[in-house]
Amino acid sequence: MLLRSINIGPLTIHLYGLIIALSIYLGWLLAKKRAHIYKIPQKIFDDPILLVPLAFAIFGARLYHVLDLRDYYLAHKSLIFAIWNGGLGIWGALIGAFIGFWVISKVKNVNLLSILDLAAPSLLLGQSIGRIGNFLNQEAFGPPTGFPWGVYISPGNRPIQFANSTRFHPTFFYEAAIDLVFLVLLLFLTRKLRISGQTFSLYLIFYATGRFIVEFWRIDTWVVGSVKVAQILAVLTLIFGVATFMRARHKP
């Protein structure tokens, strides 16, 4: 059984939260090292205002997850804020983070597109590392598989229809690997992009493509009828990303 928390006296450290904190820190560190590219002052990285997009992202991520499993949380209201048990929807996090970055651009008088371009690789890095938390919590996995890389899921975390299966597709690792590949590609292409908004547009294109593909193996995501909400959002995000990238290309 995977270790999910560490007890140090009266203190309990949840490894899921530790992984999320690590992903946020490394994303912050990467953005700080690249800030000169977009002429964003270093002092902003020590400003408490950076907590605004973080707070909005966590709120949006949890809201998306709770709406996804609304029947469960209506019956277990005390668990709505128990984020240490897992349950952060990335689409909600992205919307929340975008709102937070918009607030920063207004308060600090910094170009929003520059902030988004700077944040794009950090988002991919954070998303990739964050998927390790899904592995520790045994969530966000795919259907049963006989492939040697299938991961063991404990009986308590298996869907009822797969109660007799032991190994499942590690979709969290699939997405983590795709995000890392796109991260390297995005960092390489950033050196060739000179128009504001193009790096963030590529991020939207990359992430939407990867998420749309991985969703074919996910068995626990929000479904309306027979359509996965995450795939609908991925398609819309992909269209928006392509449109904004092409629009930026035609700017003088």
**Feature table: binding site:** 131
Q: What is the DSSP string of 71-119?
A: HHHHH-GGGTT-GGG----HHHHHHHHHHHHHHHHHHTT--HHHHHHHH
Residue 56 is encoded by which pair of tokens?
């909005």
Q: 111, 196 in Cβ contact below 8 A?
A: yes
8 SS3 class: strand
Q: Give me the sign of the Cα torsion angle 57, 58, 61, 63.
A: negative
Q: Which own/partner contact pairs does 241-244 have at CB distance under 8 Å and 24+ positions apart?
A: 241/201, 241/202, 241/203, 241/204, 241/205, 241/208, 242/201, 242/205, 244/197, 244/200, 244/201, 244/204
**Can you tell me whether residue 42 is helix, strand or coil?**
helix
Query: What does the longest C-alpha to C-alpha distance in the chain come to?
Result: 61
Backbone angles phi, psi at 231, to 5 degrees: -75, -35
Alpha carbons 85 and 97: distance in angstroms, whole number: 22
Q: How many helices (H) and strands (E) does the chain have?
A: 8, 6
